Chain A
Amino acid sequence: MTTGWIWTGVSIYVVLALIAAVMSRAGRSTSMADYFLGGRRMGGFVSAMSYSATTYSAFMMIGLAGLTYAGGVGALGFELLYLCGVTLVLVFGPRFWRVGKAFGFVTPTEMIGHRYASRTAGAVTALASCIFLIPYAAVQLAGVGYLLSGMTDGAVGFTEGTVLAVVLALIFALVAGLRSVAWTDSLQSVVMMLSATLVVIVVIWQLGGVSGFFDGLAEQPGALSVPGEGYFTFSTFLALTLPWIFFSISNPQVSQRLFTPNSLKDLRRMLIGFLIFGFIYTVVAVLWGFAARLEFPDLASSDMATPTLLGSDLVPAPLAIIVMIGILAACVSTIDSIMLTLSSMVTRDVYLPLSRARRRGADADQHHQTSPAPSETPNDAGAAPQRTESRQLMLGKLVLPVIALLAYGFAHLQLDLIAVLSVSASAGLLVMVPPIVGAFFWRGGTAAGVISSVVVAGSLVLVLEYTGTRLLGQGSGVWGLLVATALFVGVSLATRAPRQRAQEFIAASGGSSRARSAATAAPQNSPS
């Protein structure tokens, strides 16, 4: 495959995606919810495709295929267990959606801050998300670098690939916020799914059809069982899988999407559409990894399985270029979603409370006794003057390139196995699970419980990952979740819970008539 053809394909993709991004604009965004949540008016199909593209990217077609190449069928079980874990949306999806609408939340961490009546809890969870999600975004960037350099035998370098992805992600995010991200996601999801499936069919056919394919795998003892050749021991399998089971509620770039559908019917379309997409895509990625394993058994790095397969004679060049562009676009779509989410969090949950605190301090210094006291609730930004919203939005857009630069820096660490780094980031976000579950199901949860569990358990995950320690043979996510749960429950029991706030929030999440009145009354009567 020549470099010229690759750049031609990339250019066509960029033009088409830019057209989709520009067409998605619905006037000029003036509010945070409009820019970061598509005005809470996203349709089911676009939401499903965008959710799929945000979730599945470099990790699937490079990381998961690589994991299959290295460890066999255990990769399928790992990814399908993640998909089954999305059933959490069945429980939490309508609840997120209702409270988002009732209280005007833009970010999941803003929801945490409100529910536990503590801006500090919101800020701490937002910062923890940044710490773990920036490496995750870097994983996607590294994916682009591996892909382009692998397919062109190094003619297009790792650096060019990562720069291209960062610039495209920034442009797509800046054109129209979530709308442009969702529309470009949808475009590439469809192309990606169709072309990847076609490639697998073509490759399996060239390897002797389905029977020939599985006969070939049968000649590799352990490829179709676990622990198989030994890669997927039970503790490795558990350590990889556990963070992903909770991904749909622990990772804010996807849980934020639960605020965006226009209706519960659209939320349902998003859920079911994603599950079907995810199932097919997972099977395709695993078969892909198996094909590379059969054809190229001696690769230096399992991350090169997909680029090598796409660059080989098994795949017709035009099809390989379309798939490569699909993977590139999927990487970009994950990065721009993460950038959008993190910038909304930094703006809404870190900057806004700080600026209010500063303003209150200045007001106190000047003895402005006559001016009204700033509101105490995190959600009251929805009622804030238009000017404040515009300023927040402008800041959010300014934060985007900063996050992009940080992710770019991490990508250049070029760590070997993409899947492992990606899961490490998810392991860190697992510590958010107890506060999120507690928000909806336990009135006794407190801000101190949230802060202590996220800080201590999050730090523990970082230390375990940094030192490569596996306590009792288990991964960092297992320990992070256990410690976070114990601390959240223990510290909450020892401190005073905001019962009234919990009552209002949980009632609103259930959609009852009492909830509606509670939600309406909340900004006035809720303690902070």
Chain B
Amino acid sequence: MHQTHSPHRSAPWLLATVPLIMVLMFVVPFTLLRNVDAWYGSLTFWAVATMVVIGINVVLSRRWED
């Protein structure tokens, strides 16, 4: 009935990239993009990073089944 594949077992490296991306979301805007006061700075960085994380969620939850 619940024979599922835990996502963190099937692709641990992919799951591990999420906290890494989140750390970058803390660090990069306050350092590299600190003086980039335009739409292509922190705004775009945070948006793209989040889209990547959502993509990882889509991939890793694909194998959930009852």
Contact = CB atoms under 8 A, between A and B. Distances in A.
B64 A225 contact: no
Given A87-B56, A271-B57, A218 B37 contact: yes
B61 A271 contact: yes
Interface string A237-272: 110010001000000000000000001110110011
B25 A275 contact: no
A84 B51 CA distance: 9
A217 B65 CA distance: 46
Interface of A: 73-74, 76-77, 80-81, 83-87, 90-91, 94, 98, 214, 217-218, 221-228, 234, 237-238, 241, 245, 263-265, 267-268, 271-272, 275-276, 279, 283, 510-511, 515-516
A80 B61 contact: no
Given A85-B22, A224-B43, A226-B29, A80 B49 contact: yes
Given A218-B38, A272-B57, A272-B58, A80 B6 contact: no
Contact of A90 (B7, B34, B65, B66): B7
B18 A87 contact: yes
Interface string B19-62: 00110011001100111111101110011011101101110111
Contact of B22 (A81, A223, A228, A511): A81
Given A85-B22, A272-B57, 13 more contacts: A73-B46, A76-B47, A80-B46, A84-B21, A90-B61, A218-B37, A224-B39, A226-B42, A264-B65, A268-B64, A272-B54, A272-B58, A516-B1
A262 B43 CA distance: 37
Nearest to A227: B30
Interface of B: 1-4, 6-8, 15, 18, 21-22, 25-26, 29-30, 33-39, 41-43, 46-47, 49-51, 53-54, 56-58, 60-62, 64-66
A222 B35 CA distance: 9
Nearest to B2: A511
A87 B36 contact: no
B10 to A, nearest CB: 12
Which of the listed residues A85, A90, A511 has the most CB atoms from chain B within 10 Å of its own CB? A90
A450 to B, nearest CB: 24
Nearest to A510: B6
Contacts of B30: 226-227, 234, 237
A228 B54 CA distance: 27
A243 to B, nearest CB: 14
A267 B3 CA distance: 15
Contacts, number: 125
A225 B37 contact: yes
Contact of B42 (A73, A85, A98, A510): A73
18 contacts: A76-B47, A77-B46, A80-B46, A84-B18, A84-B21, A84-B53, A87-B53, A94-B6, A224-B37, A225-B29, A225-B35, A226-B30, A226-B42, A264-B4, A268-B62, A272-B58, A275-B54, A511-B3
A90 B37 contact: no
A77 B61 contact: no
Q: Which 9 pairs of residues, A with B, have the shortest CB-CB distance?
A: A511-B2, A264-B64, A80-B50, A84-B53, A268-B61, A225-B37, A77-B46, A275-B54, A214-B39
Which of the listed residues B34, B46, B56, B65 has the most CB atoms from chain A within 10 Å of its own CB? B46
A220 B3 CA distance: 55
Contacts of A226: 29-30, 34, 42
Contact of B47 (A90, A217, A283): A283
Contacts of A90: 7-8, 15, 57, 60-61
A497 B35 CA distance: 52
B54 A276 contact: yes
B18 to A, nearest CB: 5
A241 B22 CA distance: 11
Contacts of B64: 94, 264-265, 267-268
B46 to A, nearest CB: 5
Nearest to B27: A234
Contact of B66 (A85, A214, A263, A279): A263
A483 B59 CA distance: 35
B2 A76 contact: no
Nearest to A228: B37
Contacts of B57: 86-87, 90, 271-272, 275
A140 to B, nearest CB: 25
